[in-house]
Copies of this chain bind each other. A is one copy, B any other.
Amino acid sequence: MLTMPSLLLRTERLHGNNPAILEGSGDLTWHAWMGRIAQAAGFLRRTLGLEPGERIGILARNSVRQAELTYAAYWAGIVPVPVNFRLAPPEIAEVLEDAGCKVLAIDPHFAPLLDRAPLDAWRTRALLLAPHAETGLASCYDELRNAASPAPAHEPSEDDDAILLYTGGTTGRGKGVRITHRNIVANALQMAHIMGVRPWDSYLHVSPMFHSTDLKATCVTMHGGSHAYLPEFSPAAVLEAIEEHRITIGSLVPTMIIRMLQDPAFGRHDVSSLRIISYGTSPMPAEWIRRTMGAFPSVAMQQVYGLTETSPVLAILDEHDHARALAGREDLLRAGGRPLAGVDVRIIDDAGKAVAPGESGEILVRGPQVANGYHNRPRETREAFKDGWFHTGDVGRLDAEGYLFVLDRKKDMVITGGENVYTSEVEAAIYQHPGVHEVAVIGVPDKRFGEALCAVVVAAPGHSLTPAEIIAHCRGRIGGYKIPRRVSFVDALPKSAMGKILKQELRRSNTVLKSTEEKTA
Chain A positions within 8 Å of B, measured between CB atoms, are 1-2, 6-7, 9-10, 13-14, 16, 185-186, 188-190, 192-193, 196-197, 222-223, 338-339, 341-344, 366-368, 400-402
Contact = CB atoms under 8 A, between A and B. Distances in A.
B367 A1 contact: yes
B16 A401 contact: yes
Contact of A341 (B13, B223, B342): B223
Given A10-B402, A366-B1, A342 B189 contact: yes
22 contacts: A2-B342, A2-B368, A6-B342, A6-B344, A7-B342, A9-B344, A10-B339, A10-B343, A13-B400, A13-B401, A14-B401, A14-B402, A16-B400, A16-B401, A185-B341, A186-B189, A189-B189, A189-B190, A189-B342, A193-B193, A222-B341, A223-B341
A108 B467 CA distance: 76
Given A1-B367, A193-B193, A402-B10, A342 B185 contact: yes
Contact of A193 (B2, B10, B197, B400): B197
A368 B402 CA distance: 27
Q: Which among A342, A366, A367 has the greatest number of chain B C-beta atoms within 10 A?
A: A342
A483 B342 CA distance: 51
Contacts of A342: 1-2, 6-7, 185, 189
Contacts of A189: 186, 189-190, 193, 341-342
A389 to B, nearest CB: 10
A334 to B, nearest CB: 18
A196 to B, nearest CB: 6
A80 B193 CA distance: 29
A7 B9 CA distance: 30
Nearest to A190: B189
A515 to B, nearest CB: 45
A51 to B, nearest CB: 22
Copies per assembly: 2
Nearest to A399: B13
Contacts of A401: 13-14, 16
Nearest to A12: B402
Pick the 5 closest A-B CB pairs, nearest first. Answer: A13-B402, A14-B402, A193-B193, A189-B189, A192-B193
Contacts of A185: 341-342
A189 B367 CA distance: 13
Contact of A192 (B1, B186, B341, B344): B341
Contacts of A338: 14
Nearest to A342: B2
A9 B189 CA distance: 20
A276 to B, nearest CB: 14
Contacts of A368: 1-2
Given A1-B368, A14-B338, A16-B401, 14 more contacts: A1-B367, A9-B344, A10-B344, A13-B400, A13-B401, A13-B402, A14-B339, A185-B341, A188-B341, A189-B190, A189-B341, A189-B342, A192-B193, A196-B196
A7 B366 CA distance: 13
Contacts of A400: 13, 16
A9 B338 CA distance: 13
Nearest to A195: B193
A153 to B, nearest CB: 11
Contacts of A186: 189
Nearest to A222: B341
A344 B7 CA distance: 9
A9 B16 CA distance: 40
Contacts of A197: 193
A13 B345 CA distance: 11
Q: Which among A7, A189, A196, A338 has the greatest number of chain B C-beta atoms within 10 A?
A: A189
A186 B190 CA distance: 10
A118 B400 CA distance: 50
Contacts of A223: 341
A40 B13 CA distance: 47
A30 to B, nearest CB: 12
Nearest to A191: B193
A370 to B, nearest CB: 10
Nearest to A17: B401
Nearest to A398: B13
A93 to B, nearest CB: 38
A7 B193 contact: no
